Structure 1
Amino acid sequence: MDFMTPIQIPKLPEPISYGQKLLLIGSCFTEHIGNALAEHKFDVLQNPHGILFEPFSVHHSLIAYIENKKYKEEDLFFLNELWNSWHHHSRFSDMNKEVVLQEVNNSVEQAHEFLKNADWVIITLGSAFSYVLTEENPEKAKVGLHVANCHRAPGQWFFKKLLGIDEIIAAMDNAYHRLRAFNPKAKIIFTVSPVRHLRDGVIANNRSKARLLEAVHHMVDKFPDIYYFPAYELVIDVLRDYRFYDIDMAHPNYPATEFVLEKFTTSCIDEASLQIMKEVKQITIARKHRPMHPHTNAHKQFLKVHYERAQALAAKYTFLNLQDEIQYFSDAL
C-alpha cells in the first residue's frame, strides 16, 4: 500500500556538475538549496540582493546584475534610524548611508561578474503578491514602485497587489531575454517555494501560488533551456502532512527540506558529481565534529585522517575549494 503520492521527476538533460557556476535568487527556500550546494563545495552565489519573494523584485535584481547597476543616494530612504533600499533585504540596512551604498554596489558587482560565466540560474518564486508604494510614502517620485522589502514602514505607504499571470510572464520573459543576451550559455531552473504565506490567508496564498505555477510553466513550455523542479509539489502533494511543517505551519521543517534536497540532487545533479558529494560530505561532517576530549590521541588521529583525506580530495578534484577544511584540520592538530 502506498502512503505517499508518487511523483516522477525527470533527470535534467544536461545535469548540474562540479566546476559549473550556479546563481540562486528568490525566496528563503532558495537558500535551503543554495546552502546545501555550498556545503558540498559547488561554486554558488545566492541572493546578492538578499531574500526576494515576488517576480518583479527578482526581475529587477537580475537586470541590475546584468547592467552592473550603481545604486546612488537617491535610491535609498531613511527610516527608523537606518538607511534602506527598497530593492534590497534589510541585511543591507545601516545607520551610515555610505556603508549601505558600498555593500549593495559591491554585491551587485560581484553578481555581475559571476553571472557573466554562470552555467545555471536557479529562481525560486515565493509569492505573486507585490507591495507597491503609494502617495502616502515620503518620496512622491517613487509612487508605483514595487518593493522587495517593506522594512517595517507604515502600512499606508503601500498597497498590496496580486500580480496577474500575464504580468509575471512579462517580467520573467524580459529577464530571460536579457540574460540570454548577456550570457547565452546560462540555463534556468524555476522552482516555486513550498513556504505557505499564511498572512495572506489560505485562499489568497493558493491563488498566489497558482499564478506563479502557471507563469513558470508557460516559460518552461516556451523555451528549451528552462526547466522546472517541483519543490512546491513535493511538500504540498507528496509529503502532504502538517508534521512536515515547523510550528508556524508555514515553513517546511528539516525532514521536509531534506526530502526536497534529496530529490533535487538525484534529478538535477549528474552521477559523477553525486559520488563526489558523498566524499565531500564526509569532510564537512568531520569538520563540524565537536569532541568531548579533544586532546586524546584518538581525536588527533581522527583529525590527521581527515586532514589527509581533504588534501587528497582537493588534489584529485582541483575544482573543489577545501582550503577552509584543510586549514581547520591543520590548526587543530
Structure 2
Amino acid sequence: MRNLLFFLPLFLCGAVGHQAEPIRAYRITGFAQGTTWQVTYYAADSLVIKSQIDSILDQIDSSLSIYKSYSLISRFNQAESTVNMDGHMAFVINKSIETYRQTEGIFDITVQPLVQAWGFGAKKIEKLPDSATIRLLKQCVDTRFLAVQGNRLTKSKPCVKIDVNGIAQGYSVDVVAAFLDSQHISNYIVEIGGEIRIKGRRQPGNVKMKVGIEAPGEDEFQLSLLQKIISLDSGAITTSGSYRKFYESGGKKISHIIDPATGYSMQGSLISVTVYAPDAITADAYDNALMVMGLQKAITFIEKRKDMAAYFIYRDKQGKIADTATSRFYHFITEH
C-alpha cells in the first residue's frame, strides 16, 4: 500500500488551558490493510477509541481484501460466475465501473491477473510472464466482463478476477470519516497508508490542516525530500507513485502500476500524481489512472473536472525532475 503523504508535526497540539471544556487533539494509530493508519480529531473529550476503528477496517477487509481467502472478493475470484455483495463491495464495485467509464478503460479492477503475473498480487511468483502469457491474460481483463444486478456481481468469463487495491484504501478512509461524523466530530484527519481525508481545522487557533507531499530524489525510485506543503480544511488527498512499489529485473525497474491496455508496467515521464477530490474514494480511484494517462492527457482530463485537482512530478525532456499542477491545485499550495 502507498504511503506517499504524511502528517506534519503541526497537526498535534496540546490542551487549551483555562477553559471549562478544553479542546484537545486525540490521536489514534494502528496497522491494517498492510499499512499504518492514524486518526487525529479535536474534541473536548475522547469520543472514539482504537478498537472501533479496527473493527471498521476488519469489516472492510472481510469484503474487499484479496489477501484474505474468506473475503467476498476472494470468493468472487474463485467462483465460476456470481457472488452476492455486501454494502462495502457494492459501493466500491459501482464506483470502479463508473471510473472505468470515465477513464475510457484506463482504470480497470479486472487487471488482477496481470497484477498477479507481475508479482504484485497475493501469491508469490517464480518467474516473470512472457509476451505470450500477457496476451493470454489480457483476454480476461476488461470491466465490461462484469455485470451488477442489485447486490449480485456476475462475470461473463470464469477467468475474470478483480483487485480493488487501487480504490479500496480511499474508500476505507471515507468510511472511517463517516464514522467520525456520526460521533459529531467536526475537526479531524483520517489517514490510511498515505490516503488522507480532512474535515475542519486544527484546534485551537482554527488553522487549516497542512499536508506534506513527498518527492523523489534524482533517482526517481528512491525516497525523497518534502516537495510541497498544501493547506486545506475539507476534502481528500491521495498520491500514486511509481517509486514506492517496484522491483528490478534485467536491469529494468518494474512498477506496480500496470497498464491494462498493454499488460505491462506503466511507462512514461510521470513519477507521481497527487489528487484532490471531495472524497478519498474518488481521489484514490483516479491517481493511478492519471499515472497511466501520461502528463498532458492527465492535465487535460483533470482541468475538465471542477471537483478535482492534481499535482504532478515528472521527468522533463532533459531527464530532470520537474513538477506542475492543474490550475485549481495551486490554491492549496502554501509556503514551506
Greater C-alpha radius of gyration: 1
- Flag the structure with higher strand content: 2
Higher relative CO (Cα under 8 Å, sequence separation at least 6) belongs to 1
TM-score range, shorter chain: under 0.3
Give the structure-1-normalised TM-score: 0.24
- Flag the structure with higher helix content: 1
Give the structure-2-normalised TM-score: 0.24
